[in-house]
Amino acid sequence: MDELIKTFKALSEDTRLRIIKLLEGGELCVCDIVAALDIIQPKVSFHLNVLKEAGFLKDRKQGRWTHYRIDDTDFFRRFLLVSVLERIPKEALAADRKRLETFMEDKPVRDNLVSLPEKKRCAGRCR
């Protein structure tokens, strides 16, 4: 029963649902999420960890960055995620999406690194 409670509790918080909605578009590193949500990094890390511990996210370390993505290996959690995604209207989190886009576009440093091996690049404007 504890696992079930942990599962639902992970989905019972605003910031975490915003993260899920962001990751609908694919993998992001922590700094991308920080920029998109416009909240401080330890707060983002805290919530990412709650979602990960509950089995909703997977992480992938790459150099200095940690990339998070939706973990869709479990059927029940996958159903819950889809339910969440379809119940949050696109316009509700438009600001998050907008900040993410701006952050992604406005990355002069990344452009300089496009030719470097994947290991050294970040999806955002990280150096």
Partner DNA sequence: CTATTATATAAATAATACTTTATATAATAG
Partner DNA sequence: CTATTATATAAAGTATTATTTATATAATAG
Residues in touch with DNA (CB under 7 A): 9, 12-15, 29-31, 34, 39-43, 45-50, 59, 63-67, 119-120, 122, 126-127
Sheet holding 28-29, edge to edge: 28-29, 65-70, 57-62
- 34 or 81: CB nearest DNA: 34
Contact set with a second copy (CB under 8 A): 1, 4-5, 8-9, 11-14, 17, 76, 79, 83-84, 87-88, 92
CB of 28 to a second copy, least distance (A): 20
Distance (Å, rounded) from C-alpha 58 to C-alpha 34?
A: 17
Q: Is the Cβ–Cβ distance between 32 and 105 less than 8 Å?
A: no
CB of 37 to DNA, least distance (A): 10
Alpha carbon separation from 60 to 9, 22, 108, 109 (Å, rounded): 24, 17, 24, 22
